[in-house]
Amino acid sequence: MTSGLPFCELHLHIEGTLEPETIFALAAEQGRTLRDAGPEELAARYDFADLPDFLELYYENMGVLRSERDFEVLAEAYFARAHRAGVAHVELFVDPQAHTERGVAERTVLAGLQRAIEAAGDRHGISAGIIACVLRDRPVDDAERMLDAVLDAAAETGAPLLGIGLDSAELGFPPHRFAGVFDRAAEAGLHRVAHAGEEGPADYVRQALDVLGAERIDHGIRVLDDAELVARLVRERISLTVCPLSNVRLRVVDRIEELPFRALLDAGLLVTVNSDDPAYFGGYLDDNVAAVRGAFGLGEDDLARLARNSVEASFAPEARKRELL
């Protein structure tokens, strides 16, 4: 458990919850042989030089996700684990383009997630929504097509599509390229978030705000390089969804103590703690909270602030927020 307080998880890639054992179980069901002999051998390769190095294996591994049932089982396992971690509300990322390029339709993905989300409400009392992410290292017209397809798939399946996001390799892929897609998403009533300032500079954060209209910044740990930007984020109550174990495993920092976590809190930023890709980075939400608690000597008041921040920064309906606060 995190602290007994209900937390919202706002930066979680559902494909990043695909555990090595599940990869092998799904491959066996499909009669496929994988490169590694077993889950331990695969997990031994989870030693990443940087974000692009991680993404290569992440996209390869998700090749075992093919049917609606595969997505349902994946998300069900995550919700069960998140419940044990003290998570009450989740806004999960999904990468539709990484599935359609393998012939798996948006409808299949969203229908599977929708079933798991419904079950999570019944079994665990967890509320959840979906944020479909644009892969920023792919062509803009592919993102345009993805947006139309997920809007249709959500209407057909009833999946709770909350927003559009921006993820994948950051350096060299500035946010402004996707201004048109994000404008159309907003017109369709979707929330907007973007990964920025993970490996890329503070200027990418500024672009995400100015050009994409981002309401939350995923990671954003580079913002302290820009005092004016920090002041704006504080003033506008724009949250940073920080993922401490991810930052260590992707070598954004060498040790967790090097993260500017205290400085972000002391600056008055709406910091939240999240797990990003927990099957790859060594822990779920409770593990991330425990890691920052230990590294930065957080007390009960700090944990309560992080829990409250996560509720405030969520896109949950106001009535649900009141329940969680």
277 annotated to a ligand binding site: yes
Least gap, CB of 275 to ligand ADE (angstroms) = 10
Q: Is 277 in the site for ligand ADE (CB under 6 A)?
A: yes
Q: Is 168 in the site for ligand ADE (CB under 6 A)?
A: yes
Q: Does 95 bind Zn ion (CB under 5 A)?
A: no
Output the smallest distance, CB 251 to ligand ADE, in A: 12
Q: How far apart are CA 270 and CA 40, in angstroms?
A: 38
Exactly one of 16, 129, 165, 278 binds ligand ADE (CB under 6 A); which one? 16
The CA distances from residue 278 to 205, 250, 286, in Å, are 24, 12, 11
- Residue 195 marked ligand-binding: yes
How far is the C-alpha of 68 from the C-alpha of 324, rounded, in Å? 31
Q: What is the CA radius of gyration of the chain?
A: 18
- 214 closest CA partner among 234, 195, 231: 195
Which one of 107, 191, 195, 222 is in contact with ligand ADE (CB under 6 A)? Answer: 195
Nearer to Zn ion, 215 or 276 (CB): 276
Q: Which is nearer to ligand ADE, 52 or 260 (CB)?
A: 52
Q: From ligand ADE, Zn ion, none, which one binds at residue 16 (CB under 5 to 8 Å depending on kind)?
A: ligand ADE
Task: Please tell me whether 89 is known to bind a ligand.
Answer: no
Q: How far is the CB of 276 from ligand ADE (least distance, A)?
A: 5
Are the C-beta atoms of 70 and 25 separated by less than 8 Å? no
CB of 187 to ligand ADE, least distance (A): 25
**Shortest gap between Cβ of 284 and Zn ion (angstroms)?**
14
Do residues 219 and 245 make contact, with C-beta atoms less than 8 angstroms apart? no
Asked if residue 276 binds ligand ADE (CB under 6 A), the reply is: yes
246 binds ligand ADE (CB under 6 A): yes
Sign of CA dihedral 289, 292, 297, 302: negative
Which residue out of 15, 68, 106, 198 is catalytically annotated?
A: 198
Least distance between ligand ADE and beta carbon 55 (Å): 6
Task: Check binding of 307 to ligand ADE (CB under 6 A).
Answer: no
Is 198 labeled as catalytic in the residue annotation? yes
Residues between 84 and 143 with contacts to ligand ADE, criterion CB under 6 A = none
| Residue 310 interface partner, choices ligand ADE, Zn ion, none, CB cut-off 5-8 Å depending on type | none
- With CB under 6 A as the contact rule, the residue among 3, 12, 13, 259 that binds ligand ADE is 13
Is there a binding annotation on residue 83? Answer: no
Interface with Zn ion, residue 276, by CB under 5 A: yes
Nearer to Zn ion among residue 91 and residue 276 (C-beta): 276
Helix axes 285-296, 300-313, angle to 10 degrees: 140
* Planar angle of CA 254, 50, 174, nearest 5 degrees: 115
Query: Which residues are catalytically annotated?
Result: 198
* Contacts to ligand ADE by CB under 6 A: 13, 16, 51, 58, 167-168, 195, 198, 246, 276-277
Q: Which spans of this chain sit near Zn ion (rule: CB under 5 A)?
A: 276
